Amino acid sequence: MSARKGGSHLHTAQGREAVAGVVDPVSRALLALRLTPNAVTLLSLPLNVAAAWVIATGHFLWGGLAFTGALFFDLFDGRVAKLTGLSSERGAFLDAVCDRVVEVIYVLAICYALLQLPTPNVRAVLVGIGAVSASQLISYLRAKAEALGFDGAMGLMGRGERLVLMGHGIMWQAVYAHALEIMLWALLAGALLTAYQRFANVWRNLAGYSSLRMSRAAEEAGVPNPEVPAWIGRTAELARSARDRALHRS
């Protein structure tokens, strides 16, 4: 599971140390139970389903707490993989699939809860469907970008940011009746913007690659070099550099 998620909460050395101080003891306890990283990943699924059920029944405060606890457990699989040296691409694949499933489950639970209100909020449900669809598009764009050798994790709202926003919306719904709808609108807007950012990044890089290949093919054939705009030349070099770094990481 070498490619298991890092998460936005681990961007700094201080953040990594703080999280490790809490996660490591629990991870070692899971190791003592002879649980593999993949088993820990699968174990997080019923915990998230249980948290989603609490949210769906309209208990937003307890649901928010269960949501936080279940997602915190999601940190352990990567740590167990590191402690055991059992990192693998299969584990990373399983982890990514479970992440997508969990995100959909939570949005469905929120939508169900909104339909059970004294005045069902159909508008917010439709926004939620759009938000989760855009979130899946973000994940697809990342996978496609990385398959092409580009950095696919860029953009405003990755999975970590979406889950933090979702957790705040669930908790605030306990005290403010429109918190979930506001959260879903923000989730939809952020997801669409992030999808656009990732698409534009790959599209621009691929344009640079195509022009660079045409230029080199013309040189090899002895044809006068066609005019290539300066920005495309710079983009091609940046794209090639980003691709080389991605291949080196893999």
Q: Indicate which residues carry an active-site annotation.
A: 99
Quote the tokens at residue 56: 């769906």
What is the Cα–Cα distance from 247 to 146, expressed in whole angstroms?
A: 9
Locate all alpha helices (DSSP H) within 33-121, ordered by sequence.
37-56, 60-73, 76-84, 89-115
Residues 6+ apart with CB under 8 A from 122: 115
- How far lies 204's CA from each of 70, 158, 210, in Å? 38, 20, 10
What is the Cα–Cα distance from 92 to 173, expressed in whole angstroms?
A: 34
Quote the tokens at residue 61: 């405060």
CA-based nearest residue to 131, from 83, 191, 180? 191
Locate all alpha helices (DSSP H) within the chain, ordered by sequence.
13-32, 37-56, 60-73, 76-84, 89-115, 122-147, 159-173, 179-220, 230-249
What is the Cα–Cα distance from 4 to 159, expressed in whole angstroms?
A: 13
